[in-house]
Amino acid sequence: MAIIGIDLGTTNSLVAAWTAQGPRLIENALGDTLTPSAVSFDADGGAIVGRAALDRLISHPDRSVAGFKRMMGSARLVDIAGKSLRPEDLSALVLRALREDAETALGEAVTEAVISVPAYFSDPQRKATLDAARIAGLKVERLVNEPTAAALAHSLEKQDGLFLILDLGGGTFDVSLLHKLDGMIEIKASAGDVMLGGDDFSKLIAGEIARRAGIPLSDLPPQAQARLRRAADDVKRILSDQHVAPYAFDLPDATVAGEMTRDAFETLAEPLMRRLRAPIEQAIADSRIAPGQIGQIVLVGGATRMPMIRAFVAKLFGRFPLLDPRPDHVIALGAATQMGLKARDAALDDVVMVDVCPFTLGIASFDGRVGRTIFSPIIERNSVVPVSRNGLYQTLLDDQEHITVKVLQGEDIRPERNILLGTIDIAVPKGPAGRESVDVRFTFDINGVLIAEVTSLSTKER
Ligand code: ADP
Ligand code: MG
């Protein structure tokens, strides 16, 4: 039976197989290992996925969409080509395309996969990912956190110690601190910025090109904007290898041409570079580890190919990060390795994964001492998973007939500042305030999916 791992990325998705020689990336029909996470619909309503769909974002903007991983877990719908689709329906189309590429390459049916998700993906985001897989006809053996997958890809190198994983993709920046000892990998902490990625660097270049050409960006028709963005992305990639990049593209009534230097780009990018610091400091502070104890710094994600990222990290830590020649392949290779664990391959015999819950989970409860409703944690951030914890809560009013439990995720003492995952209503017998109690149990499993159970102590009902 074929064993595959999938990196379902915001910008690019990849699929890898576990083979006797270790993890191996699978190419799509175009011979690329990276499949852009883009979907387009043709005139007959047929779905197109990948590079062609990305190109059609320019030619057929109203029939094409990308970046939907950001919407996973939300109730938002995408209106496209006369259809109204959920983000998980769009992700399912990408997963199906990867699955078919794997089936072609391996010459057999593929029905099971490990899929990677960002460490701080919330409960609804993880459930949406599981749903997308189901729609694509894939049974999810396990959701693996992206940094865990990155660590696993590197864990075949026999080296113990603390690893800092910095993943700068297209739309997000994820930071994780891992500890590897005697074949066991533990995630000590994770933090990130969900609004910072390589595409923000491209946008800066697009803005600068438009500014130099004297064209107000918002006045451009969508197709011209898309063309400008594509040119900007090319400039960014060229500047990773060279010091000067030329650009030229057509607008409805003019041709814009010029060149940009790496120095100019790096000056423009200073505000973005400053934002890299906070999540790194947060993860290190959470883990209570001195920066000097970090053994290896690993860069992951396509955007870490930018020399300024490497230079920034080197300066911040006073030494050079470990560079993978293809930092955007690492997570898929790790996901396949995770899948290989299931097959109990000899090379992986002693690797055990320990993960942490990257956020605090709790409920809203009234605190008599402060006289208002506060966020009361049940599972603390960075608890090792799987984890199951409970708390007891009492009725607040005389003759209260039911208790409503608000399940929240977040770090703020004010409940309204955290993410509401759901509410559970339970009936309790009438009585004086404080006599009736409910037990709230949270179980957070290895996939990062939360199960909340509320039990009335007197009726034993749930
Ligand atoms: P994601 O995890 O979001 O799917 P990737 O890890 O594939 O993303 O990274 C995509 C980002 O990497 C994009 O913003 C892309 O422009 C950027 N990128 C890819 N190659 C290069 C390069 N050579 N130089 C700079 N940025 C690059
Ligand atoms: Mg990624």
Please tell me whether residue 265 adopts helix, strand or coil conformation.
helix
Question: What is the DSSP track for 19-86?
Answer: ETTEEEE---TTS-S-EESEEEE-TTS-EEESHHHHHHHHH-GGGEEE-GGGGTTS---EEETTEEE-
**430 has pLDDT over 70:** yes
91-130 residue pLDDT tens? 999 999 999 999 999 999 999 999 999 887 888 999 999 9
**369 has pLDDT over 80:** no
Q: Is 160 exposed, middle or buried (0-12, 13-18, 19+ CB in 10 A)?
A: middle
pLDDT value of position 433:
85
Atom nearest to 233 CA in ligand 1:
16
Mutate to test the pocket of ligand 1, among 195, 238, 305, 326 (most ligand atoms within 8 A of CB): 305
Please tell me whether residue 292 adopts helix, strand or coil conformation.
helix
Q: Nearest-CA neighbor of 299 among 191, 144, 164, 153?
A: 164
**353 has pLDDT over 60:** no
Annotation says 167 is catalytic:
yes
Annotation says 7 is catalytic:
yes
Any residues with Cβ below 6 Å from ligand 1, and which? 9-12, 169-171, 197-199, 202, 233, 236-237, 240, 301-303, 305-306, 328
Annotation says 182 is catalytic:
no
Q: Can you read off the two tokens belonging to residue 32?
A: 């690329």
372-397 residue pLDDT tens? 899 999 998 878 778 889 888 888 88
Annotation says 32 is catalytic:
no
Separation of alpha carbons 352 and 13, rounded Å: 26
Confidence of residue 21 (pLDDT cuts 50, 70, 90): confident
**175 has pLDDT over 60:** yes
Separation of alpha carbons 262 and 274, rounded Å: 18
Separation of alpha carbons 86 and 257, rounded Å: 39
From ligand 1's centre to the CA of 81, what distance in Å? 28
Q: Can you read off the two tokens belonging to residue 159?
A: 């080296």
| 192 contacts 118 by C-beta, under 8 angstroms | yes
Tokens 């999938």: give the residue: 6
Number of the ligand closest to the Cα of 9: 1
Separation of alpha carbons 255 and 353, rounded Å: 54
50-64 residue pLDDT tens? 999 998 988 898 999
pLDDT value of position 200:
95
